[in-house]
Amino acid sequence: MMRTLLATLLLVFVQTVQAEEVLLERIVALVNDDVVLSSEFEAELASVRQNLEQRDVQMPPASELRQQVLDRLIVQTLQLNVAERQGVRIDSATLDAAVRRIAERNRLTLPQLRDALAERGLDMAAFRDQLRRDIITRRLRQQVMNQRVDVTEQEIRQFIERNRSLDRDYRLSQILISVPEAASADAIEDARDEAQAVSERLDDGESFARVATAASDARNALEGGDLGWVPASQLPTAAADAIRELEPGERTALLRTPAGFQIYQLEETRGSGQKIVEQAKVRHILIQPNEVVTNEDARLRLQSLRSRLQAGGDFADLARANSDDPNSAGDGGELGWIDPANLPESFRSAVNRLETGEVSEIFRTRGGWHIAEVIDRRERDTSETIAREEAEQAIRERKSEEETELWLRELREEAYIEKRLENG
């Protein structure tokens, strides 16, 4: 009896402690059936502050920054909820590859990346979790935009005709004051007043990045409104016309766009470059390691095939009989005319070293072991093909940018959101 009573009291004590620990983790926002916790908020706030310091952006008022960070977490939570319902996920292998790419882009090994994160007060687990969420939301937006955005042949033709003379890229920053779809006249006027107040802050000398961080409704607000490099052809006509008249460091007047009221600041310009590319007509033989064929077996087998080629064997016959590439083996290993820049690095290096008619040494890619031959080379003016591809991409990206803001606004308007953030 006494043992049972002690066990019961111990269980109640443990449950009470656990409940107190849960209560200590304060909720800063309710988002439908989900929550944003204070620990998530403080971690994101610290990351944003550090990012702004590194970009040398003057910190906006603490209350404005805290609200912007909370809004970002709320929108992210809404998107992750949709992603979960639609089955958008990433596996560990994909996440591992993304971490490796980030390390490689920064010329770091994985241990060096871990050390660099630690210097910023982050651990690898938290970094991977944020990266996972970023990839999921990016995939979700792409999936949603593929359903909501359509590009017609007529739009492509009109775009090419209208933009043949546009050969500039702009590095831009933006501030967006959004206007809800089908907004009332009063709501539009309120947004216009808010945008005008933002414009006056800029006129008074406050930095564009600081005002964008504090007041913009766009997804890139906490990056100081930085849009990166944008082709002139990708901009709405009104924005492109206004930006074309600017010098670096200048900004547009207030522009009315489908998303709301926008101000762009021009940071830099550059030419878009020529459209002449060197192509190579290539064929190859691929031997893939598998459960039966070891990596060394595959290499030795390919070395034997290369020796047969040097002894006068026919490349096409050997490819048809031996290559593990199902897309090219039937064509004698031919890949057709390709731009070497689009090949994996080791494949590209092998092709670029070859003279016409020369067979490469064996080389390794993620797909397996290869030998390649350059059948011919040519320079090709791909401007028409590229123009069509660029036109479709630019139209799709422009529509997607506007449509994404509308979609995110819909998510917010349809959701139950309760903010419990204390400013300070």
Place of tokens 């004698």: 332
Q: List the one residue out of 376, 378, 352, 377 whose CA is nearest residue 363.
A: 352
**CA 207, 42, 36, 73: dihedral to nearest 10 degrees?**
30
At 406, list the tokens.
């509308």
Q: Cα(93)–Cα(348) distance, rounded to whole angstroms?
A: 25
Name the pLDDT band for 148 (thresholds 50, 70, 90).
Answer: very high
At 277, list the tokens.
């590319």
Query: Which 8-state DSSP code applies to residue 57?
Result: P
Q: Cα(83)–Cα(2) distance, rounded to whole angstroms?
A: 52
More confident residue, 9 or 259: 259
Longest dimension (CA), the chain: 93
Q: Residue 363: pLDDT above 90? A: yes
Which residues fall within 8 angstroms of residue 19, CB to CB, at 6 or more apart?
A: none
CATH for 276-381, options being 3.30.460.80, 3.10.50.40, 3.60.10.10, 3.40.630.30? 3.10.50.40
Q: Residue 8: pLDDT above 50? A: no
Question: Which whole-number Å values give the CA distances from 393 to 231, 389, 414, in the listed order?
Answer: 11, 6, 30
Region of residue 88 (left: phi > 0; alpha: psi -120 to 50; beta: else):
beta
Burial of 392: CB neighbours in 10 Å, binned 0-12, 13-18, 19+: middle
Name the pLDDT band for 93 (thresholds 50, 70, 90).
Answer: confident
Whether the Cβ atoms of residue 84 and residue 234 lie closer than 8 Å to each other: no
Q: What is the pTM assigned to this prediction? A: 0.54
pLDDT in tens, 201-249: 999 999 999 999 999 998 889 999 999 888 887 787 788 888 888 889 9
Entry field: residues in the chain: 424
At 232, list the tokens.
């002139």
Average pLDDT of span 307-323: 93
Angle at alpha carbon of residue 318, lines to 332 and 351, rounded to 5°: 65
Whether the Cβ atoms of residue 240 and residue 224 lie closer than 8 Å to each other: no
At 179, list the tokens.
């206007």
Q: Residue 382: pLDDT above 80? A: no
Q: What does the domain layout of the chain look like in residue ranges?
A: 276-381
Which amino acid appears at position 22 of this protein?
A: V
Average pLDDT, the chain: 85
Name the pLDDT band for 106 (thresholds 50, 70, 90).
Answer: confident
DSSP string covering 301-339: HHHHHHHHHHTT--HHHHHHHH---TTTGGGTTEEEEE-
- pLDDT score of 407: 93
Burial of 21: CB neighbours in 10 Å, binned 0-12, 13-18, 19+: exposed
Whether the Cβ atoms of residue 50 and residue 200 lie closer than 8 Å to each other: no
Q: Which region among 32-41, 164-173, 228-237, 397-406 has the lowest average model confidence (pLDDT)?
A: 164-173
